[in-house]
Chains A and B, each alone.
Chain A
């Protein structure tokens, strides 16, 4: 049983990581994370990179939907804005270190523009307004051929930082994961600040937030901007990772996937975004391994894989909503507490 941790100041009570032990565990975890590129095969590194990108995007969406309570179906569109900005800049010789944050900024601007309806709209209506953003961006992506390459897509050169090329997934891991860790750190910190707390106040009751002196519209727009920045950076990394992007990289189903990630992971929780994104990225891989292991005896299973993926995704969401509405993050908290308090669970 863990004991002897007392918070004697407000500062320590509000600290980012509650205990010294948590800090140590995290440090060990991050070091262990960087062992992956030396152990994994290139395909699993591709999966790891996709997971890291999904974590960034899901965290962005969680800031907007989980923390600020603004539902958005436009995140695939903001991902596309980030991706195409990167494609455009990178093809004009702009290096990674500029193109990646610039993509985040452009996506943040797009997010603010499409966030304007949130002044007036809430809930389902806002979902519809952001859905419009999705279709507008999708239309632009398939028809503004000079910039986006149209339906055939556009290729993106390999990212390079100070002359070092990050052409394959093994090397790219050293870009995606540090960026992911940095953005997660920022997100955790954000909710210890006035702005982050204003987001939460708006989610819980926007009228009382206004009464308490939170400028609701400004903070809603800010939330859209921060959220879209994250999603835009994820889009940029996605473009660098896939090396070719087309409108098919950003279907509406992807926006739903991200919502699924934060629902399964846990709304309003950074840890939830991480767990949900990793879970939903690994799910199809596990299904694929399962179907291909059985395809020797059932050759038609390969054909079932795509529909199976969609079916299992739907079933998972329903099951989580019913049995674990607070998501994987809460499940993790309970498991941790059980061990922490063992054997005196009361």
Chain B
């Protein structure tokens, strides 16, 4: 008993000693929900990025404390966590996760003036007239899908007819996010969208959806669910012997895919927002060094890299806001909007936020799985069209 008491006491003392030079940042992660397959490495990346920043000078000498929570991909849980973080913990900004919860919280975030940097690449979050406090790091889901459709157009050799495309997506805000943009892009660019199949949140079988799609005769299919779901669809497609060429969104494509889907993943294309872990780019060294020092036995992937890029972007914003003496929600937002081709050493494309346009980049990298390896296939610079802002 005495031991426990003294341990508690020392915890309290340690807490109060740290409190003076601390910047509190919220983290809303999915560690147990339907997107936890990619949510876990991402959360680890953010945490490690924060730890690395703290070891390397912090925010101009101040330490960051990440107050994080697992919300299980449930919107109500995210709302409760948000209330606790802004009300009790008084965090300066929040590193969020899903599309549904981010879009759900956008009005409150705006009212409370809390920068909300989330892992959702939903294009609906890029228009500052509607969502001035929302940010993300990477091309939007919509630009990803448009780029993939461009790749389809180039890959399609039969000029007698248009390529036929199908979309697979989950029945949630993330799944549906780029679909409207995709529909319009197909219409304007001579791609026939022949089928849309909706899959449940977590599923073990996609046979009936695939048989539907087969009937509609799709040559290509874009899958907008996370890695586990993508591999289920790919394996079922292989079982059914379909010749359709599959593509995947940035949360369904990474090092894990060829491992789980095995030969069914061969030739599959996907949007890679961040490079694979260990890729030979200048920015990777701090990640591999940190990995060697702290957990050399773990394996990491592109989602872990993504977590790092997020931490690096908002810690840079905190540094800039601190230098300007504006360590507030509004100050961090203003600091983020000074980002102009902010270089992350090749981990992801350079990041730009303008006060009138929060699209961080419109460059999309498409990778293809060849002999079980992720290989870079194509790089597209999509247009920064004003009518695509927010769509």
Contact = CB atoms under 8 A, between A and B. Distances in A.
Contact of A43 (B70, B88, B108): B88
Contact of A243 (B108, B171, B172): B108
Nearest to B40: A303
A232 B72 CA distance: 26
Contacts of A155: 104, 107
A61 to B, nearest CB: 19
B11 A244 contact: no
A306 interface: yes
A296 B70 CA distance: 16
B345 to A, nearest CB: 27
Contacts of A43: 83-84, 87-88
A151 interface: yes
B104 A306 contact: no
B297 interface: no
B74 interface: yes
Interface in B56-90: 68-70, 72, 74-76, 79-80, 83-84, 87-88
17 contacts: A46-B80, A46-B84, A151-B173, A152-B103, A153-B75, A169-B83, A242-B76, A242-B79, A244-B75, A244-B79, A244-B107, A246-B100, A248-B75, A302-B31, A302-B68, A303-B70, A307-B32
A142 interface: yes
Nearest to B72: A306
A155 B88 CA distance: 23
Interface in A288-325: 293, 296, 302-303, 305-307
A249 interface: yes
A321 to B, nearest CB: 27
Nearest to B73: A248
Interface of A: 41-46, 142, 151-153, 155, 169, 242-244, 246, 248-249, 293, 296, 302-303, 305-307
Nearest to B8: A293
Interface of B: 8, 11, 31-32, 68-70, 72, 74-76, 79-80, 83-84, 87-88, 100, 103-105, 107-108, 171-173, 176
B31 A46 contact: no
Contacts, number: 70
A57 B80 CA distance: 19
In the complex, the 3 A-B pairs of residues with the closest C-beta atoms, listed nearest first? A42-B87, A43-B88, A244-B104
A244 B111 CA distance: 14
B87 A153 contact: no
Nearest to A299: B47
Given A155-B104, A169-B83, A303-B32, A42 B88 contact: yes
B100 A153 contact: yes
Contacts of B104: 152-153, 155, 244, 246
Given A41-B87, A293-B8, 6 more contacts: A44-B88, A46-B80, A155-B107, A246-B100, A302-B69, A303-B70
A45 B74 CA distance: 21
Nearest to A300: B31
Contacts of B79: 242-244
Nearest to A153: B104
Looking at B76, B80, B84, B103, the one whose CB has the most chain A CB atoms below 10 A away is B76
Nearest to B105: A244
Nearest to A142: B171
A45 B72 CA distance: 23
A340 B88 CA distance: 40
B311 to A, nearest CB: 16
A11 B108 CA distance: 52
A306 B70 contact: yes
Nearest to B67: A292
A249 B76 contact: yes
Contact of B83 (A46, A296, A302): A46
B221 to A, nearest CB: 22
B87 A293 contact: no
